[in-house]
Structure 1
Amino acid sequence: MSFSDISADSRVLRQLDVLAGLGEVTTLGYGDKPAAAAEHVAIDVALPSLPQAFPGVALLALRRHDAVELRAPAVRRALRLVGARRFDLVVANEARAMAVAHRVAQGAPVLADMHEWAPEERTHVRSWRLLVKPFMAHQCGKYLPKMSAVTVVNDSIGAMYETQFGVRTHTVRNASAFRELTPSEVTPGRIRLVHSGGAVPGRNIEALVKAVRMLDERFTLDLYLVPARDGGRYLAGLRALIADEPRVTLHPPVPTTELVDTLNAYDVGIYSLPRLTPNHWLMLPNKMFDFVQARLGVVFASAPETDRLITEHDLGAIAPDATARALRDTLAALTEERVRAIKHNAGRAAKALSSIEDSATTREVAANLLGR
């Protein structure tokens, strides 16, 4: 159960591939049926997974969390569509799916994949901080102790769940599948930067564009962005920002299955996320692993988990903060020889930073819950 478009959700798709090896999987979420699912229960994408109408919002404001946990339109539709069907294992992706997953399970084990730190997912947004943060904290306190197992994206976030909610977690990183690729050749006089991900406000994509404007002619930037659910407003703003910069190119998104091959044509993957929430500070995003599988060097704004991987495997450089100027200064120090070296290092680290270990963890956890 995932209130996302599962077919475009890389983490959930990897999870689904593992679960499909253990039994027949029914998926519930937005969008079309994923290839590995035996059956898909589709939720209309127009139905929100959190209350947005007055009665539900009022209950959130009054901290009536038990009364509101099953009121969101997508949750109510999910319960109607699933009905009285029985399952041997239910997987709840993220905190907003825990209550409905617990109800659907009817006593069967529930695996909660929390991904990141749910209580402060979007606390940089005032309405979310005031209304949703207390609800998420309540959900975690109520349902995490009832879960048969809990997974998270890294050890730092797992430690937070253990400290605040008393639950032990398993770490399943957002790592991509191992790919047999070689680094593309570095073109003399050119360093090809690339960024892939969601076109979402707060991802600081503007800083990437501004940094390139301040760099010399060696540098180009290509953006592969998945549109946000905002009617294209944020993407339109980005198009206006790059309209007069020929060295920055905005591409349509590519399917998840084609992303790594597409990225392989470039030299350095870049990401610069401001530290607005604990999830930003403790990020370990799928794009880090996508860049490595594509055999790219990386330049990221400093964060403990990504800093550790970049340093341990000598994958690239770390900008001291998320400003465009810090990113510019860090990129400007790159030479063609250094870019070749870090692309080579990505190739050496690709197996260790692939999903092999993470899929094995998911398989072991799920199989234990199924009694196999």
Structure 2
Amino acid sequence: MPDTTRPRLLCISFSDFNSDSRVLRQLAVLAESCDVTTLGYGPRPPHAVDHIEVDRSLPSLPQTVGGVLKLGLRRFRAVQYEAPAVRAAIEQVGDREFDIVVANEARALPLAFRVAGSPRIWCDLHEWAPAERTHVLSWRLLVAPFMHWVCAEYLPRVDAATTINDSIADMYRREFGIDVEIVRNAIGYRADLQPSPVSDDVIRLVHSGGAIPGRNVEAIIEAVDLLGDGYALDLYLIPSREGDSYWRGLLRQIEDSPRTTLHPPVAPDELPDALNPYDLGVFLLPPLTPNHRHMLPNKFFDFVQARLGLVFGTSIETDRLIAADELGVVASGYAAGDIVEAVRGLDRDDIRRFKKNADAAAEKLSSIIDVATERRVIDRLRQGISRRSRL
């Protein structure tokens, strides 16, 4: 049963909580001091005392005929609640009151401001919302202007805002004039893990994450085949809900590759253990959007906690961190040949050094700093509730 002496908190995320590692870490912190109700796709996640499940088939953007028409006419105020998932959420939340609402990503903000009880609102911005999928023409023409409007309309009114790195925080400050704190996508510190030995026979590459068009997984598979004998690739992939044809194409490519092995997806907390036996974590995301150019993804931190060397495509934030602690190599481009060039340029002593450096940097690149920031934010919001109740 909920504890009536603790703040009532609604955490909104239009994702499956149980496969969203960032939100799962967030929930663990929120539950330390609040009774958490979650709202999103999939079953109730850990740390929630209650859960409002939204049918995962309902999109979280206004993709109905009427919604698209209003987007095209720039009738943003009229369309903000028309996404099927948002309409379902409004109906299910009803007149339930909350003291705090955490809106994960800007698309959750209109709903957050409709919640009863005049809650304090914290928006956790997982990326630069106005350019989330601007590499897709329809998104760029219809949704991007709407997301910019949502940010301009609601972000100046939130009580707290966080995002994943300094580059994106600066973009929000400049464009919308808000104060943004940093909560990276880092996972917990794994003091129990050590760098695994580098085999004399096979250099083992690994990639984990969503099998989503644009993530360039196909280039990594092609690269390991070009590298030839002495190299192997293991993949821990989450199939995309939207990318069935892409997923089928990947499966065919994996089946045709003698050096690639596909594994079932692994829970976020279990990833460091699963990845630890490998040598090099590989990720090359072509810079199709501002978010790609400023990325600091989960897998960077997963690879560090697993004590792997890194092979990454260039981006502002990861380039800086890789260079600072000599964690790996930055490829010159994003094609299979660029991966081959980067990996062939490494000998086993290089890989051992990268893995040792990852071990040395693992604590500072863990979530310890980020959890402290989240606790400060939630403490401020709770104090605001206490002051309001005394008025």
TM-score of the superposed pair, with normalisation by structure 1: 0.98
8 Å CA contact 1:194–1:263 kept in 2: the answer is: yes
Where 1:284 maps in the other structure, the secondary structure is: coil
User: What percent of counterpart residues are identical?
Assistant: 55
Q: Distance in 2 between matches of 1:63 and 1:126?
A: 16
Aligned to 2:58: 47
Aligned to 1:228: 240
Where 2:198 maps in the other structure, the secondary structure is: coil
Where 1:3 maps in the other structure, the secondary structure is: strand
Aligned to 1:111: 122
Q: Distance in 2 between matches of 1:45 and 1:242?
A: 28
Aligned to 1:139: 150
Letter in 2 for 1:50: L
Aligned to 2:328: 316
Aligned to 2:271: 259
- Number of equivalent positions: 372
8 Å CA contact 1:260–1:291 kept in 2: the answer is: yes
Q: Does 1:84 align with 2:95?
A: yes
Q: Does 1:326 align with 2:338?
A: yes
8 Å CA contact 1:196–1:225 kept in 2: the answer is: yes
Equivalences for 1:149-164 in 2 at 5 Å? 149-164=160-175
Aligned to 1:216: 228
Q: Does 1:125 align with 2:136?
A: yes
Which has the higher mean CA deviation after the structures are superposed, 21-30 or 318-327? 318-327
Letter in 2 for 1:49: S
Aligned to 1:351: 363
Deviation (angstroms), 1:244:
2.3
Deviation (angstroms), 1:216:
3.2
Aligned to 2:82: 71
8 Å CA contact 1:90–1:105 kept in 2: the answer is: no
8 Å CA contact 1:48–1:73 kept in 2: the answer is: yes
8 Å CA contact 2:17–2:45 kept in 1: the answer is: yes
8 Å CA contact 1:117–1:157 kept in 2: the answer is: yes
Q: Distance in 2 between matches of 1:164 and 1:67?
A: 23
Q: Distance in 2 between matches of 1:87 and 1:209?
A: 48
Aligned to 1:93: 104
Where 2:366 maps in the other structure, the secondary structure is: coil
**1:66-118 deviation line (CA, Å, top 9, x unaligned):** 00001111101111111111111100000110000011154211000011100
Q: Does 1:29 align with 2:49?
A: no
Deviation (angstroms), 1:189:
2.4
Aligned to 1:295: 307
CA RMSD of aligned residues (A): 1.1
Aligned to 1:367: 379
Where 2:206 maps in the other structure, the secondary structure is: strand
Aligned to 2:350: 338
Aligned to 1:279: 291
Where 1:135 maps in the other structure, the secondary structure is: helix
Aligned to 2:4: none
Gapped regions of structure 1 (runs ≥ 5): none
Q: Distance in 2 between matches of 1:45 and 1:108?
A: 26
Q: Which runs of 4+ in 1 moved over 2 A?
A: 230-233
Q: Distance in 2 between matches of 1:286 and 1:13?
A: 12
Where 2:207 maps in the other structure, the secondary structure is: strand
